[in-house]
């Protein structure tokens, strides 16, 4: 697996569908990847940590902002390779990390989520209902209700879901399996979708080439966002995963539980969600801390 150009194209296609990246942004990603590939003799996709260290050392004379952008391009590319099964491990931790602040995840409000499900409900009330809308219902329920990654969702196998179980067996990054709770509503939506598909299919969301692609999943979700009156650039499967985590935290979930549900190896990855609940934390301090309950004017 050393076909860098072909993998670059697949990655950029995914990036365009996921975030609606502009041509200039895609061009910058392509440039960063191609430069690193040339330095490694066309073998960036199979590079290890030592090779990536050499690439990072070559950036030593650049500004922090440039190094951060190049590192981000390569890290995102290696994350794509891992999620798509082209690699079993991610060596990108060997790349430099200059002191650039990390962007907070996009968050959908409760009202925006309600709008998405409202449009979906209208679709499901048609008689006869379209199979594509039944599939959309199952996809949305699993994205927002269980916080699955896009790659985890599209590769779910039929055997992952059992009628007598209230959880899914999900294979996440690095091939690691975890149990993910599934709500009664999501189970109902998935069972309805399964009843419309061939029992011989391997995947829960099949297509002619195996399973629905990540790119098609992004397109479906953005189409629903437009119908719900939401800027499609603000909505993606990953944003719905963020909404799942954010709204759980607002509801009182702890970070350790959230880490398990999201399948994060390191809790530092989960801690980015702490920004969303600052109002509840202030209220907690004022209501529960001894100083908050005292009349300080006395």
pLDDT digits (tens, 9 = 90+) for 27-56: 999 999 999 999 999 999 999 999 999 999
In a domain, 18, yes or no: yes
In a domain, 290, yes or no: no
Does 173 participate in catalysis according to the annotation? yes
Domain co-membership, 249 together with 180? yes
Per residue in 222-245, pLDDT (tens digit) is 999 999 999 998 899 988 988 888
Q: pLDDT at position 298, please?
A: 42
CATH code, 63: 1.10.150.130
CATH code, 208: 1.10.443.10
In a domain, 104, yes or no: no
Segments of the chain assigned E as strands: 167-171, 177-181, 206-207, 210-211
CB contact set of 118 (below 8 Å; sequence gap of 6+):
228
User: Which of 39, 53, 106, 173 does the annotation list as catalytic?
Assistant: 173
Does 191 participate in catalysis according to the annotation? no
User: Which of 76, 135, 247, 264 does the annotation list as catalytic?
Assistant: 264
Q: pLDDT at position 208, please?
A: 87
Domain co-membership, 135 together with 187? yes
Backbone phi, psi, residue 37, to 5°:
-65, -45
Among candidate residues 278, 295, 238, the one with its CA nearest the CA of residue 105: 238
User: Which of 241, 275, 294, 298 does the annotation list as catalytic?
Assistant: 241
Domain co-membership, 155 together with 273? yes
Q: pLDDT at position 104, please?
A: 53
Q: pLDDT at position 122, please?
A: 95
Domain co-membership, 73 together with 177? no
Last residue in a domain, options 52, 68, 94 = 94
CA distances from 249 to 121, 253, 271, 289 (A): 26, 5, 11, 20
Domain co-membership, 78 together with 119? no
Domain co-membership, 127 together with 87? no
In a domain, 76, yes or no: yes
Does 211 participate in catalysis according to the annotation? no
Q: In this model, does residue 91 exceed pLDDT 60?
A: yes
In a domain, 59, yes or no: yes
In a domain, 41, yes or no: yes
User: Which of 149, 187, 211, 247 does the annotation list as catalytic?
Assistant: 149
The stretch 252-271 carries a mean pLDDT of: 73
Domain co-membership, 131 together with 89? no
Are the CB atoms for 267 and 152 separated by under 8 Å? no
Regarding predicted confidence, which is higher, 295 or 69? 69
The mean pLDDT value of the chain amounts to 84
In a domain, 297, yes or no: no
Instruction: Express as a percent the part of the chain with pLDDT over 90.
Output: 41
Q: In this model, does residue 280 exceed pLDDT 60?
A: no
Domain co-membership, 239 together with 214? yes
Q: How many CB atoms lie within 10 A of CB 282?
A: 11
- Long-range CB pairs of 84-92 (<8 Å, 24+ gap) are 84/10, 84/151, 84/214, 86/1, 86/7, 86/45, 87/1, 87/45, 87/46, 88/174, 88/175, 89/174, 90/173, 90/174, 91/47, 91/48, 91/49, 91/51, 91/52, 92/52
User: Which of these ranges, 57-61, 235-239, 287-291, has the smallest mean pLDDT?
Assistant: 287-291
| Count of structural domains, the chain | 2
Q: pLDDT at position 263, please?
A: 76
In a domain, 288, yes or no: no
Q: What confidence category does residue 119 fall into, taking pLDDT thresholds of 50, 70 and 90?
A: very high
Please state the pTM of the whole predicted model: 0.64
Domain co-membership, 273 together with 168? yes
Q: What confidence category does residue 296 fall into, taking pLDDT thresholds of 50, 70 and 90?
A: very low
Q: What confidence category does residue 261 fall into, taking pLDDT thresholds of 50, 70 and 90?
A: confident
Domain co-membership, 114 together with 262? yes
* Structural domain harbouring 41: 4-94
Does 264 participate in catalysis according to the annotation? yes
Domain co-membership, 126 together with 253? yes
Domain co-membership, 269 together with 152? yes
């Amino acid at each position: 697996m050393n076909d860098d150009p072909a993998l670059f194209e697949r990655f950029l296609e995914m990036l365009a569908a996921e975030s609606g990246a502009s041509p200039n942004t895609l061009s910058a990603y392509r440039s960063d990847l191609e430069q690193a590939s040339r330095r490694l003799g066309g073998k960036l996709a199979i590079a290890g940590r030592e090779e990536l260290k050499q690439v990072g050392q070559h950036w030593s004379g650049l500004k922090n902002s440039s190094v951060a952008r190049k590192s981000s391009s390569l890290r995102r590319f290696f994350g794509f390779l891992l999620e798509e099964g082209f690699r079993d491990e991610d060596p990108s931790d060997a790349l430099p990390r200059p002191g650039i602040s990390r962007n907070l995840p996009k968050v959908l409000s409760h009202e925006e989520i309600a709008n998405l499900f409202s449009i979906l409900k209208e679709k499901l009330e048609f008689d006869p209902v379209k199979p594509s809308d039944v599939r959309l219902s199952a996809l949305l329920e699993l994205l927002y209700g269980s916080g699955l990654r896009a790659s985890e969702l599209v590769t779910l196998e039929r055997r992952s879901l059992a009628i007598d179980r209230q959880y899914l067996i999900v294979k996440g990054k690095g091939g690691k399996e975890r149990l993910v709770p599934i709500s009664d509503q999501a189970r109902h939506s998935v069972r309805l979708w399964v009843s419309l598909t061939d029992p011989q299919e391997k995947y829960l969301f099949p297509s002619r080439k195996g399973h629905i692609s990540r790119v098609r999943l992004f397109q479906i979700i953005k189409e629903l966002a437009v119908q719900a009156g939401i800027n499609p650039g603000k909505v993606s499967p990953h944003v719905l995963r963020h909404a799942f985590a954010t709204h759980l935290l607002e509801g009182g979930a702890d970070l350790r539980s959230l880490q398990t549900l999201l399948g994060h190896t390191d809790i530092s990855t989960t801690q980015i969600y702490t920004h969303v609940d600052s109002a509840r934390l202030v209220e907690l301090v004022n209501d529960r801390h001894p100083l908050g309950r005292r009349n300080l004017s006395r």
